[in-house]
Amino acid sequence: MGRFVLCITGASGVVYGYRTLEVLSRENEVHLIVSGSGETVLKEEMGITLKDIRERFPKVRIHDRRDMTSPLASGSRLREFQAVLVVPCSTSTLGNVANGINQNLIHRVCEVALKERVPLILLVREMPYSKIHLENMLKVTSAGAVVMSASPGFYHGPRKIEDLIDFVVGKVLDQAGVTHDLFRRWRE
C-alpha cells in the first residue's frame, strides 16, 4: 500500500483524474485536492460534486485547496508520500508550478514535491501547445517532474472509450510505480 496525493485541476478530461482516484484508492491511501475550476469541470463533464466524491470514496482524505496550512504543504510530511499526481493538469497549473507561484494548495504541493524530490507527475490536457506551454513543460521537467500528455495508444486494441481512458491512466500509474492491469501491454 502506497500513499499518494492526487490533484484534479480545471482542464477538460477530468475523467482521467476520477479514474485515477478509482484505481488508486482500491489499495492505497489517497489524499485529494481539487481546484475550484476542477470542481466546475467535474460538474460539467461528469455531473458529480466533491460531496459525491466524499460519499463514493469515504477513505479518501480531501484537502481544501485554500488550506495552505495543510500537512501536505510541508516537505517533512510530503516526503512520506510515494508520488504527487496532477490529473488532469491545466496549463494554468503548469505555469504556476513552472514559475514557483503558489495560489492554492495544489501549486504548493507541487512546489514541495519538486524541492523534496517526491515524484511529481503532470498529465497536461490541453492542445495545441504554445511556446509558453512548451517552455513551462521544459522548466518543470528540468526541475524533476514528469510531464505526460493525455494521448492514448492504440496497440492494445481499444474497443470503447473506457479502454482509451484506462490506457492513459495506466501510463500515469506506471510513472508512479503502481502495479495495475488497466491495459494490455505491447505484445502481451
C-alpha–C-alpha distance, residues 90 and 106, integer Å? 11
> Quick one: the chain helix, strand, coil %, rounded to 5?
45, 15, 35
Q: Which of the 8 DSSP states describes residue 46?
A: I
Q: Which domains does the chain have, with CATH numbers?
A: 3-176 (3.40.50.1950)
Q: Please state the rounded mean pLDDT for residues 87-100.
A: 98
**Do you know the residue count of the chain?**
188
Q: Dump pLDDT digits (tens) for 169-187.
A: 999 999 999 999 998 887 7
The model carries a pTM of 0.96
Q: Dump pLDDT digits (tens) for 15-46.
A: 999 999 999 999 999 999 999 999 999 999 99
Residue type, position 38, single letter: G
